[in-house]
């Protein structure tokens, strides 16, 4: 079975695939049914996505509705880069099979359960077979006829399902590096998952306009993250002030290290501004995305 983060990623992926972003919304009951999630698994995933501000909406239970936020779209795209290159339909199909005791599922169950047509069934079968996730029934066949009645999941397929379809050698933790942030902000392709390229960092550090755009979007990201949880009494105005000071200082010809450190202390919620442990856990990865940019700026 998936863990909490993997269930959440599956829900967010579904919303992204369906284009469920404002002003569009979808009923919670529809998501739960489409992904074959239990009430408990879905409710936990829904709570995680809402608290992380990856989704938004109103109501609860089957009558509630949700949509994917911009922050959620970035997160699920990051997560997808760590997963096998496989369609959501194939993921859902393997999930249905893995829930059965023997891992054997009929074509009728897949087509009716996922509400797909024959062509979509054959497409997902090819994906699963090519990734060695189901028994290789067509190895000595000229077509996929052996799968006309259904398929059975391999041991490797079950392990892949339990791991959340993560590629070998990668964890299911979210990517929190500047390379991913740069690519998401400027529409490029990730140059190696796990670390930022020097050229990406140097481009931002040495080009004032690139630095301005990067900082503005980064500040918008973290401001949106805290604005829903911090109140004026908790130091929201001070937080925004520190954010503005940091953005201004990093764009100066020679940033002051002591001022930058003071701002980072406030933004990390370890200073006078107090946030919940949950909020701190969500803020710190975003702060870490900025550090590879700050270091060379302070060395000017």
Q: pLDDT tens digits for 127-171?
A: 888 888 888 654 444 455 566 778 888 888 888 877 777 665 444
pLDDT of residue 71: 85
The answer on pLDDT for 176 being more than 60 is no
Is residue 27 very low, low, confident or very high in pLDDT (cuts 50, 70, 90)? very high
Q: Do residues 17 and 34 lie in contact, with contact meaning Cβ atoms separated by under 8 Å?
A: no
Tell me the C-alpha distance between 145 and 147, whole Å.
5
103's CB contacts (< 8 A; 6+ apart) are: 97, 152, 153, 157, 158
Domains of the chain: 4-80 (1.10.10.10), 88-162 (1.10.10.10), 178-298 (no CATH)
* Residue 101 contacts residue 186 (beta carbons within 8 Å): no
State the pairing for strand pair 65-68/55-58.
antiparallel
| C-alpha to C-alpha distance for 147 and 106, rounded to whole angstroms | 9
Buried/exposed code over 24-36 (b: 16+ C-beta within 10 A; e: otherwise): ebbebeebbebbb
**DSSP, residue by residue, 77-97:** HHHHTTB-S--HHHHHHHHHH
Structure token pair of residue 27? 């009923």
| Number of other residues whose CB lies within 10 A of the CB of residue 110 | 22
Please give the pLDDT value at position 142: 43
Asked if the model's pLDDT at residue 197 lies above 70, the reply is no
**Can you give the pLDDT at residue 233?**
66
The least confident of 163-172, 241-250, 288-297 is 163-172
Dihedral (C-alpha) 278, 283, 285, 286: value to the nearest 10 degrees?
A: 150
pLDDT at 191: 32
pLDDT category of residue 6 using cuts at 50, 70 and 90? confident
pLDDT of residue 218: 87
Higher pLDDT, 200 or 157: 157
Yes or no: say if 245 and 237 are a contact pair by the CB < 8 Å rule. no
Range in 63-67, 144-148, 267-271 with the lowest mean pLDDT: 144-148
Highest mean pLDDT among 55-64, 183-192, 197-206: 55-64
Q: How far apart are CA 248 and CA 242, in angstroms?
A: 10
């Amino acid at each position: 079975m998936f863990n909490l983060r993997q269930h959440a990623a599956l829900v967010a992926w579904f919303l992204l695939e369906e284009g469920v972003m404002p002003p569009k919304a979808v009923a919670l009951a529809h998501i739960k049914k489409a992904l074959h999630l239990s009430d408990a698994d879905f409710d936990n995933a829904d709570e995680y996505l809402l608290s992380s501000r990856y989704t938004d909406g109103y109501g609860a239970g089957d009558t509630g509705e949700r949509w994917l936020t911009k922050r959620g779209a970035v997160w699920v795209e990051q997560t997808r880069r760590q997963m096998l290159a496989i369609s959501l339909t194939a993921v859902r199909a393997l999930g249905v099979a893995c829930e059965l005791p023997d891992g054997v599922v009929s074509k009728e169950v897949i087509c009716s359960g996922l509400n797909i047509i024959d062509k979509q069934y054959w497409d997902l079968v090819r994906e699963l077979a090519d990734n060695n996730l189901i028994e290789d029934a067509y190895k000595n066949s000229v077509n996929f006829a052996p799968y006309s009645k259904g398929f059975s999941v391999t041991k490797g397929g079950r392990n892949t399902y339990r791991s959340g379809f993560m590629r070998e050698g990668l964890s299911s933790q979210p990517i929190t590096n500047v390379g991913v942030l740069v690519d998401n902000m400027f529409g490029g392709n990730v140059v190696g998952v796990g670390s930022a390229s020097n050229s990406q960092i140097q481009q931002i550090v040495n080009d004032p306009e690139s630095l301005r755009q990067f900082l503005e979007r980064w500040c918008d990201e973290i401001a949106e993250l805290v604005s829903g949880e911090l109140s004026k009494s908790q130091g929201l105005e001070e937080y925004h002030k520190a954010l503005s000071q940091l953005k201004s200082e990093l764009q100066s010809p020679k940033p002051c290290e002591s001022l930058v450190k003071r701002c980072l202390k406030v933004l990390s919620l370890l200073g006078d501004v107090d946030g919940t442990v949950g909020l701190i856990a969500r803020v710190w990865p975003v702060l870490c995305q900025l550090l590879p940019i700050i270091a060379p700026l302070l060395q000017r």
